[in-house]
């Protein structure tokens, strides 16, 4: 799907096409509408770079109790806990 944003609107908002895409993806991520992986792919970024971008914007990572428990189990299996 393509979305057309008039150049005039981008100019008034002082955004490039890439900046507009970044803002859309960050907004959708912050609203829990995109996963980290989906956001990274849409922005062609690796996870670490995306995490830095989130930190700059003060947008929290999606990390719930289930993910925490999975991480704890992985650490136990690796003998790190």
| Residue 2: inside a domain | no
Residue 58 pLDDT > 90, yes or no?
yes
| Residue 42: inside a domain | yes
| Residue 15: inside a domain | yes
Which pLDDT band, with edges at 50, 70 and 90, does 78 fall under? Answer: very high
Segments forming the whole domain that contains residue 61:
7-77
| Residue 21: inside a domain | yes
Please report the DSSP string for 22-58 in residue order.
Answer: HHHHHHHHHTTSS-HHHHHHHHT--HHHHHHHHHHHT
| Residue 39: inside a domain | yes
pLDDT of residue 3: 87
9-55 pLDDT, tens digit per residue, is: 999 999 999 999 999 999 999 999 998 989 999 999 999 999 999 99
| Residue 1: inside a domain | no
State how many domains the chain has.
1
Alpha-carbon distance of 67 to 21, in angstroms, equals 28
- Worst-scoring range by mean pLDDT, 36-40, 66-70, 72-76? 66-70
User: pTM here?
Assistant: 0.76
């Amino acid at each position: 799907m393509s979305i057309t944003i008039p150049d005039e609107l981008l100019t008034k908002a002082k955004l490039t096409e890439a900046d507009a895409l970044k803002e859309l993806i960050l907004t959708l991520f912050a609203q829990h509408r995109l996963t980290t992986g989906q956001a990274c792919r849409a922005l062609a970024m690796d996870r670490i770079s995306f995490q830095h971008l989130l930190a700059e914007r003060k947008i929290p990572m999606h990390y719930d109790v289930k993910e925490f428990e999975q991480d704890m189990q992985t650490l136990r299996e690796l003998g790190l806990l």
